[in-house]
Amino acid sequence: MSPSSPTASHRARRGEPLRPGATVGVLGGGQLGRMMAIEARRMGYRIVVLDPDARCPTGQFADEVVIGALTDVDAALELAGQVDVVTLDTEHVPADVLDRIDEVVPVRPRGAIFRTIQDRQSQKQFLDRLGLPQTPWAPVDDAAGPASALAAVGLPAILKVRTAGYDGKGQVRIEHADAAAAAWERVGHRPSVVERVVPFVREVSVILARGVGGDVAIYPLAENVHRHHILHTTRAPAPMPEARRAHAETIARTIAEALDHVGVMAVELFELPDGQLLVNEIAPRTHNSGHYTLGACATSQFEQHVRAVCGLPLGDPRALTGAVMLNLIGDLWRDGPPRWDPVLAHPEARLHLYGKLAPAPGRKMGHVVLLDDDTDRALRHAEAMLAALTPA
């Protein structure tokens, strides 16, 4: 059934390329896996995905679906037996599961990276060890923790659970010291970190890819606006003085090299009023703020990830045009699927829908990429489009 062979994955482990015809396994069947599967299949690769739902966004474009939870070692090993290399569409796969898979086929990026990244505390300790700039932070391990952590970092602050929080989930903002105990209560007394709220003027992200041989390709800098903790728009290239942009790229490259990363990675940064850059978060995978690359760049982040994990030379990351990405959130589906006329009428807008069967408020359902060298104009068009799509 599968053309994969042990010899192909053994060769992959030695760093030899997996050429089109090989099979890529994907853990998690969300939109990132979906867009990767589309690009991979275009290039002639086969895709097998592990997800609890056969009709998940990636499953709709996969050759095979192994049905199971991402914590299910047996299901993961079943996937491993069918593929030449394994990668992920989410960082929320237990590192122990990745280690077990790696006994059968190479996992890229490797499991140790997820051990460092999945836990906010170990991610922050890793950044401190590298001497990279980040928000002042302190650990919170017990009931006495919040008060002493707040004393260390200052107010206002955000309490963030160490594991399994994303898009603002498991986070509580603390304005006054006497709110510390209530915040700790709200996160269910889970091990957390406290971060000082920084007065950033802008959020940007560096999307890069690192190949098996250590080569690095860096995409044009992305400027991100969040609403309700969810990415709203990305503009690229982000206007930024050259030296500062180079500094952002150096930070991201340092992280990728220190982790010995293979694949696409996003490093989210806060830009302060004085131009300082602080690392907010590392995502060792393709990223929402890199969606613009599909359409706007010579090689999309999804093709690039396939190239990297298959040990191919990296593609050219250069922008062919400026672009703005607008996320389409489930709230737009309140009265049923939106009519897409406002998007379709715009010749430079590319509509992406993820095939999610159950729209829900706050759920990422799709996005639009507007191709335009004038990114200010594209941002205005994106907002007008959103207004036209929003239920009355």
For ligand AMP, the binding residues (CB under 6 A) are: 135, 158, 166, 168, 195-198, 200, 203, 226, 229, 280-281
Q: How far is 384 from 380, CA to CA, in rounded Å?
A: 6
Helix 120-130 with 111-118: angle, nearest 10 deg = 100
Q: Closest CB to ligand AMP among 124 and 381?
A: 124
Q: How far is 224 from 203, CA to CA, in rounded Å?
A: 5
Query: What is the phi/psi pair of residue 340, to 5°?
Result: -90, 10
Query: Least separation, in Å, of the C-beta of 345 and ligand AMP?
Result: 32
Q: Closest CB to ligand AMP among 23 and 205?
A: 205
Q: How far is 148 from 143, CA to CA, in rounded Å?
A: 10
Q: Closest CB to ligand AMP among 115 and 226?
A: 226
Query: Least separation, in Å, of the C-beta of 125 and ligand AMP?
Result: 16
Q: Closest CB to ligand AMP among 173 and 377?
A: 173
The answer to whether the CB of 183 falls within 8 A of the CB of 171 is: no
Q: Closest CB to ligand AMP among 227 and 339?
A: 227
Q: Closest CB to ligand AMP among 43 and 197?
A: 197
Query: Least separation, in Å, of the C-beta of 44 and ligand AMP?
Result: 36
Query: Least separation, in Å, of the C-beta of 158 and ligand AMP?
Result: 5
Q: Closest CB to ligand AMP among 250 and 280?
A: 280
Give the closest residue to 265 by CA, choosing from 277, 276, 273, 253. 253
Helix 120-130 with 242-259: angle, nearest 10 deg = 110
Query: Least separation, in Å, of the C-beta of 382 and ligand AMP?
Result: 19
Question: How many helices and strands in the chain, by DSSP H and E?
Answer: 13, 17
Query: Least separation, in Å, of the C-beta of 331 and ligand AMP?
Result: 18
Q: Closest CB to ligand AMP among 264 and 269?
A: 269
Dihedral sign from CA coordinates of 379, 383, 384, 386: positive
DSSP states along 245-265 = HHHHHHHHHHHHHHHT--EEE
Query: What is the phi/psi pair of residue 177, to 5°?
Result: -60, -35
Query: Least separation, in Å, of the C-beta of 379 and ligand AMP?
Result: 18
Q: Closest CB to ligand AMP among 70 and 267?
A: 267
Q: Closest CB to ligand AMP among 216 and 238?
A: 238
Q: How far is 31 from 26, CA to CA, in rounded Å?
A: 12
Query: Least separation, in Å, of the C-beta of 192 and ligand AMP?
Result: 12
DSSP states along 164-198 = S--TTTTEEEE-SGGGHHHHHHHTTT--EEEEEPP
Give the closest residue to 17 by CA, choosing from 299, 301, 262, 290. 262
Query: Least separation, in Å, of the C-beta of 189 and ligand AMP?
Result: 20
Query: Least separation, in Å, of the C-beta of 232 and ligand AMP?
Result: 10
Burial class of residue 390, CB neighbours in 10 A (0-12, 13-18, 19+): exposed
Q: How far is 315 from 73, CA to CA, in rounded Å?
A: 33
